[in-house]
Amino acid sequence: MATSEPALAKRFQPLSSYRSRPDDEPAYRLLPFNFARFDEQRYLLSNDAGEYYLLARTDLVAAVDGRLNPDSETYRDLRARHFLYDDHSDAALDLLALKVRTKHARIRDFTGLHIFVVTLRCDYSCPYCQVSRQSEDQSAYDMDEATALTALEYVFKSPSPTVKIEFQGGEPLLNFPLIRFIVERAERLNQAEKRDLAFVIASNLSFIDGEILDYCEAHGIGFSTSLDGPAHLHDANRPRPGRDGHRRTREGIRRVRERLGPDRVSALMTTTAASLAEPRAIIDEYIDAGFHSVFLRPLSPYGFAVKTRQTEKYDFERFLRFYREGMDYILALNRNGWPFVEHYSALMLTKLLSVQPTRYVDLQSPAGAAISALVYNYDGGVYASDEGRMLAEMGDETFRLGDVHKDSYEQILLNPTLHAVLEESLTYGAPECYQCAFQPFCGSDPVYHHATQGDWVGHKAFSAFCARTQQVTSYLIHKLEDEPADREILLDWVRP
Amino acid sequence: MQLRSRRSHFSGWPADARPGIYAVTTNPMLPAPVARQRLLLLDSSRDAPALAESPYRGLLLRSVFSEALPSRAIVLEPALGHLADGDIVRVDPQREELRVLFRPSAPQNSLLVTERCNSFCVMCSQPPRDVDDSALVDEIRRTIELIPRDTPTLGLTGGEPTLAGEGFFDLVRHACNYLPDTELHVLTNGRRFAEQALAARLGELHHPGLRLGIPLYSEQPDLHDFVVQARGAFDETVKGLLNLAAEGIRIELRVVIHRHTYGRLAELARFIARNLPFVEHVALMGLELIGFAKVNLGNLWMDPYDYGPQLAQAVRTLERGGVPAVIYNHQLCVVPESVRSRCVKSISDWKNDYLPECDDCALKAQCGGFFSSGLGLATHSAHIAPFRHSGLIA
Amino acid sequence: MPRDKRVPLSAIDKVSASRERIERVCLKAFALDTVKAVCYRFAAEGCQGLSVSDDGMSAEVRFRLASTVSAAEEQALVGRFHQDLLDQDLRKTVSERTELVRQLILANAFADTALVDRGHE
């Protein structure tokens, strides 16, 4: 490319004269990056801005030694991705600073997700659930209006331009009057606040009826439900008196769609030991239920999961096989003309391919605790995250920040434990993480490490959280770099 | 656009008459204070009002009836016969020159701020000249005052408009005051905005419809510097872009595709999506075969059909990064089908021309065709072919 | 290093029969900090600690391996350990060369000035 023949007119300098450098200067300077062995042939480089690159170890060593040939495509690629710079331009320094800033922009927005636990009552008794109370008629476990009002004040103290209020439980529809109260109050407050306000009910959909659907339509409320797979899987995971959980869930999904439209209900699955053998069946179930995506999440190790020995049966390597099998199947679906997305992958792809910050609470550095989400429990307790609340139900109140009835907003957010957690959860400073090539795509999960290893940072060599990020990211990079057909599919999953 | 008539005939003007900028009108009944600022356009000298009474600055005549011409008359060459009401022209009676500066009927109007430039792009369509043309700023001020308020867009071009220094900011402010509803599209290389204070000054003007069109030819600093023939240009341009973005100024990024820039086009797109995602859109442009592009044709030209894959890849990469892409100056039949919808018919009506094979093309009306100036029709892709049934190439 | 090639955790947790493997690392070739960092990383694969010789010229790294780990797996583990030493040394070089500019970039990133806003999107 671009060797001039015929030559440019006389007034113009050839390309070569723009490439020359004085001999006595260093040819280029390195910019900060981390690296790790990627496969038998290649190493993975990454930097704070989330740029990544694969290259052979010999090229890596040459680059570090200052011996990289400036006329090579490798040099050009590394320069364009800001792994090195030279005398032609130091704009890389400004661009890197800007990209790092953009990646962390969500911190300025502060808490956008506000979870209201309106009741602990539930009609199910799922073995891995940490919080629900079996009995359906104990209103001692319902949130009251006074608590809701104060919590709403705290919601709007956050400067976030988007506010998502998510109702959880137990089964939140069992306290629908309070949901109505909160929605209407929030809308009234928002007339002055003018935030982008959204509501979601995380529900098992057992109690959906026409009145509830009418209300949800009038106020633009969406639903998120749990669908673990076909009936035998779902009902084994989520026991309900009558053993009809799956049927009721499918029926609920159908009713919501029919009344509110196809996009107003989403589903999450929880992977249990039983799920691990059946990724295809689960995905087929999601397709049958009319969904265009699935979120292949590992099981969290808390609460009933520990009590019922789920974590012993549950093995990280098995989850990875499950994930790969699920992805193979999903990619094949796409290749055969049926668009279908895996959410966790889409999230990682967004981190790999853009600087736009993502909102997934569990993959943030510093941790998403309080910064991304706050949980207001039925009794007024405020927690830094959903898992933090679950841990409290098991007797560990580390992540309880305070009480809306006793503590001001400032007192809750200035909780010293919270600050200690946030400070320690910066991956820039954590052992292993600070030098990890996957750092830009990862985050902190202090609650997970606290539950599994007894400290907020954990020893990453023993961390399934760490292993999962590394493995999934490597898998995706391999697809992007080595498999063009799959690459095209995956690129479409990134939301700009 | 500027039509220069070398042969309009000026008659009855004072020997010391200075150049001036005036609007053209066909209305012979304008009140005197306004008429003094206007040139009255008439079909024939026979329609001319009696000279002693005419308050009009001058008379534009399409034809003459007799040898006797009214004073301050300009007999138009046939080429300027299409002059119309609302046009704005510059007349220089001493040089017998008439130049059209603005036409309400034109799809785009651009005003030349200066011919000087601090770059020297190898494919420049408006080759720079190192002249003192600072008088142009005042002329543009005057023109802006005459342009109708409902004009949708106005362009400022050069050379490099920011070389006019204070004059440049003056013009932006003037346009903001006189034409607040008009989009002002400034073509600039953005290099001077590497100085943050200048970007801040532009931001302080708060022009609501301001958009800068800034070229970036490669993500490789040395290659960009080569294309614009200026060391350090990439560095300045990128820093300028960041400073402008910090001021919230809208930016169109322009990429001209030729033999030097097609190879890493997809990489440039990736670079823009990751580093400059704030731009409003990216314009991927074909060579305009005049000026230096014509002079350097042998070195620069390649068949656009041959860089189709890179073009398609670049568009996909930009769009996936949330950056819209448009394609200018390409015939519809030479771009890949997957990106054909991004083509914008950008060659203005007066510059468009077509080949004989285009007569049968089902998409002719949507296609910009070829530049009629320069080598537009002589040098073109080897893959020009008409569409049948609006979709399939014959 | 792809995690699925590593010696599985469960093999170490549960099995009581095990053997020791000692690797000697030359401290003229590698800084002690470098060796420690790699030991930390291999903690989940049986690396139990290190000790430095009296003359400070070498370090002894101790691995405890379950008896179910084959000789081939042990060899592969040791190979990876030494490869990681080289990589960690390279990391040290990169870090030293880029630490200053990294501070500069991060300071600029988090300085209290206006963010470039994509807000119109």
Q: Total domain count for chain A? A: 2
Find the CATH number of the domain harbouring A303.
3.20.20.70
B277 touches chain C (CB under 8 A): yes
pLDDT tier for residue A104 given thresholds of 50, 70 and 90? confident
C109 touches chain B (CB under 8 A): no
Query: What are the pLDDT digits (tens) for B149-164?
Result: 999 999 999 999 999 9
A320 touches chain C (CB under 8 A): yes
The pLDDT assigned to A457 comes to 87
- Pick the more confident residue, A26 or B370: B370
Choose the final residue of a domain: A389, A411, A426: A426
Same domain for A386 and A262: yes
The pLDDT assigned to C11 comes to 47
Q: Judge: C94–A102 Cβ closer than 8 Å, yes or no.
A: no
ipTM confidence score = 0.89
Same domain for B343 and B230: yes
Same domain for A149 and A113: yes
CA distances from A29 to B176, B222, B272, C22 (A): 45, 16, 22, 39
CA distances from A443 to A102, A108, B291, C98 (A): 16, 17, 54, 23
pLDDT tier for residue A86 given thresholds of 50, 70 and 90? very high
| CATH of C10-112 given 3.30.70, 3.10.400, 3.40.50, 1.10.3470 | 3.30.70
Is B381 among the domain residues?
A: no
Same domain for A270 and A198: yes
C86 touches chain A (CB under 8 A): no
The pLDDT assigned to A445 comes to 84
B245 touches chain C (CB under 8 A): yes
Residue B52 pLDDT > 60: no
A107 touches chain C (CB under 8 A): no
pLDDT tier for residue B350 given thresholds of 50, 70 and 90? low
Q: Judge: A104–C116 Cβ closer than 8 Å, yes or no.
A: no
Is B77 among the domain residues?
A: yes
Contact indicator for B276, B253 with CB cutoff of 8 Å: yes
Same domain for B119 and B25: no
Q: Which whole number is the average pLDDT over B255-271?
A: 97
Query: What are the pLDDT digits (tens) for B154-190?
Result: 999 999 999 999 999 999 999 999 999 999 999 999 9
Structural domain boundaries in chain C: 10-112
Choose the final residue of a domain: A103, A130, A158: A103
Q: CA-to-CA distance for A46 and A57, rounded, in angstroms?
A: 14
Angle of helix A57-65 relative to helix A73-80, nearest 10 degrees?
A: 70
Residue B5 pLDDT > 60: no
A7 touches chain B (CB under 8 A): yes
- Size of the A and B interface in Cβ pairs below 8 Å: 101
Query: What are the pLDDT digits (tens) for B106-123?
Result: 888 999 999 999 999 999
The pLDDT assigned to C4 comes to 46
Q: CA-to-CA distance for A167 and A115, rounded, in angstroms?
A: 6
Same domain for B263 and B121: yes
Choose the final residue of a domain: B102, B121, B144: B102
Contact indicator for A470, A348 with CB cutoff of 8 Å: no
pLDDT tier for residue A139 given thresholds of 50, 70 and 90? confident
Same domain for B26 and B143: no
Same domain for B328 and B201: yes
The pLDDT assigned to C121 comes to 31
The pLDDT assigned to A367 comes to 79
The pLDDT assigned to A240 comes to 79
Same domain for A121 and A34: no
Same domain for B142 and B88: no
Choose the final residue of a domain: A407, A426, A445: A426
Is B390 among the domain residues?
A: no
pLDDT tier for residue A302 given thresholds of 50, 70 and 90? low
How many percent of chain A have pLDDT more than 70?
Answer: 92
Same domain for B141 and B10: no
Same domain for B291 and B244: yes
Neighbours of chain B (3+ CB pairs under 8 A): A, C
Spell out which residues of chain A touch residue C40, defining contact as CB-CB under 8 Å. Answer: 431-432, 459, 461
Same domain for B352 and B222: yes
Q: Which whole number is the average pLDDT over B379-383?
A: 90
CA distances from B13 to B35, B39, B81 (A): 17, 13, 21
Q: Judge: A474–C2 Cβ closer than 8 Å, yes or no.
A: yes
Q: Which of B242, B246, B322 comes nearest C121 by C-beta?
A: B322
Interface list for A 363-392 with C (CB within 8 A): none
A353 touches chain C (CB under 8 A): no
Give the residue from B66, B27, B12 showing the smallest Cα distance to B44. B66
Same domain for A81 and A212: no
Residue C94 pLDDT > 90: yes
Q: Total domain count for chain B? A: 2
Neighbours of chain C (3+ CB pairs under 8 A): A, B
Choose the final residue of a domain: B60, B75, B102: B102
Spell out which residues of chain C touch residue B275, defining contact as CB-CB under 8 Å. Answer: none
Domain range enclosing A84: 30-103
Residue C14 pLDDT > 60: no
Residue ranges of alpha helices (H) inside chain C are 9-14, 32-41, 71-110
| Closest-CA residue of chain C to B275 | C116
A108 touches chain C (CB under 8 A): yes
H-helix or E-strand spanning residue B106: none
Q: Which of B239, B295, B322 comes nearest A496 by C-beta?
A: B322
Contact indicator for A223, A204 with CB cutoff of 8 Å: no
B208 touches chain C (CB under 8 A): no
Find the CATH number of the domain harbouring B125.
3.20.20.70
User: What does the DSSP assignment read for A392-425?
Assistant: HHTT--TTEEEETTTS-HHHHHT-HHHHHHHHHT
Same domain for B312 and B214: yes
B246 touches chain C (CB under 8 A): yes
Q: Judge: A48–C43 Cβ closer than 8 Å, yes or no.
A: no
Choose the final residue of a domain: B80, B102, B124: B102
The pLDDT assigned to A65 comes to 93
The pLDDT assigned to A309 comes to 45
Same domain for A200 and A57: no
Under 8 Å CB-to-CB from B135, ≥6 apart: which residues? none
Give the residue from B74, B14, B81 showing the smallest Cα distance to B45. B74
Spell out which residues of chain A touch residue C90, defining contact as CB-CB under 8 Å. Answer: 35, 60-61, 64
Same domain for B259 and B327: yes
Same domain for A90 and A44: yes
Same domain for A378 and A260: yes
Q: Which of A6, A13, A19 comes nearest B298 by C-beta?
A: A6
C112 touches chain B (CB under 8 A): no
How many percent of chain B have pLDDT more than 90?
Answer: 72
Query: What are the pLDDT digits (tens) for C100-121?
Result: 999 999 999 988 665 444 333 3
Find the CATH number of the domain harbouring B88.
3.50.30
pLDDT tier for residue A447 given thresholds of 50, 70 and 90? confident
Q: Judge: B246–C114 Cβ closer than 8 Å, yes or no.
A: yes
Same domain for A255 and A135: yes
Q: Which whole number is the average pLDDT over B14-28?
A: 93
Residue ranges of alpha helices (H) inside B6-93 are 32-35
Is B394 among the domain residues?
A: no
Domain range enclosing B217: 110-376
CA distances from A400 to A155, A202, A366, A404, B187 (A): 17, 22, 18, 11, 57
Please tell me the pTM assigned to this model.
0.89
Give the residue from B94, B95, B109 showing the smallest Cα distance to B3. B109
